[in-house]
Amino acid sequence: MVRFLLLCLLFACATPLPKGVEAVALDGRHLRAPRLPDAERAKREKQLEEARALRDDVERSIWIGRRLGYLHRYREAIDVFSAAIETHPRDHRLYRFRGHRYLTVRKFDAAIRDLRRASELIRGTQDALEPDGMPNAANTPTSTQHGNVWYHLGLAYYYKANWRDALSAFRRSLAIATNDDMKVAAGYWVYLLELRIDRMRADETLAKELPEAVTLLENHAYWALIQMFRKKITPEEVRAQKLDDATTGYGIAQFHFLNGDQKSGFAELRRVVASESWPSFGYIAAEAALERH
């Protein structure tokens, strides 16, 4: 009987997903690739073809995988990174990017393995800015290779409710931060995690380690949430800024929980998960929180 169940499990794992389904949500829903406007899709497909024309083997694989991800073809992207790892097993970037896409498709254990491997491979190496695949308005990268390894590892642990390892990873990312965008992004998650362990320490982090004024190119949603936790603005004022809805929605839910309003907190999580933003970090966090509770 046990052998039969194991065989059934193996068969189920090997069964391909229906066409158009890129991931299975934590509650079992099939998640289909979000639709892109025609002009944006054409632009991203052209960028994918440009990536295929690159001569350097590793760079070509990295950019093909990244461009596939921007087209919401996450499983294809994972396959590209996996093939490249077979021939370039010591390039930390391949594990970093595959780990990111394992997060997207809800394979958190695989993401942890990849990102821990990347953290081993970057040990003793010099950090460098990570080129953006979808540049901000200033066309200026805001994150580094090492910082992104620790940041994504922090997310993987967070989704698994491994709070202490998540805090350690995000603290490493915060320590690496060289600009306000990096500090705000990593510091936001550090604060949420410290709230679970020691609220006094979390408040100290909010007061001492995160700047009072910032110059941002990207992470405006995290900054608005930090200001909300500092009680300088309200959840309604955060929402009125019309920033990334899944990010702000998850943060607003945590604000309600912090203030003892369980009903509003869970309502906000359910609102996020009812949206179509399933590839976003805030959505995945909301999904994981609902599954835990």
CATH class of the structural domain 142-213: mainly alpha
Per-domain residue ranges for the chain? 39-124, 142-213, 219-293
Q: Which residues contact 63 (CB under 8 A, 6 or more apart)?
A: 51, 54, 133
- Contact in structure between 205 and 226 (CB atoms under 8 Å): no
**pLDDT value at residue 15:** 61
Q: Name the nearest CA neighbour of 278 among 81, 40, 24.
A: 24
User: If one looks up domain 39-124 in CATH, what number appears?
Assistant: 1.25.40.10
**DSSP letter (8 states) at residue 21:** E
- Contact in structure between 63 and 130 (CB atoms under 8 Å): no
- Contact in structure between 92 and 150 (CB atoms under 8 Å): no
Cα Rg of the chain, angstroms: 19
What string of pLDDT tens digits covers the 293 residues of the chain?
Answer: 444 333 344 434 446 788 889 999 999 999 999 999 999 999 999 999 999 999 999 999 999 999 999 999 999 999 999 999 999 999 999 999 999 999 999 999 999 999 999 999 999 999 999 999 999 999 999 999 999 999 999 999 999 999 999 999 999 999 999 999 999 999 999 999 999 988 888 888 888 888 889 999 999 999 999 999 999 999 999 999 999 999 999 999 999 999 999 999 999 999 999 999 999 999 999 999 999 98
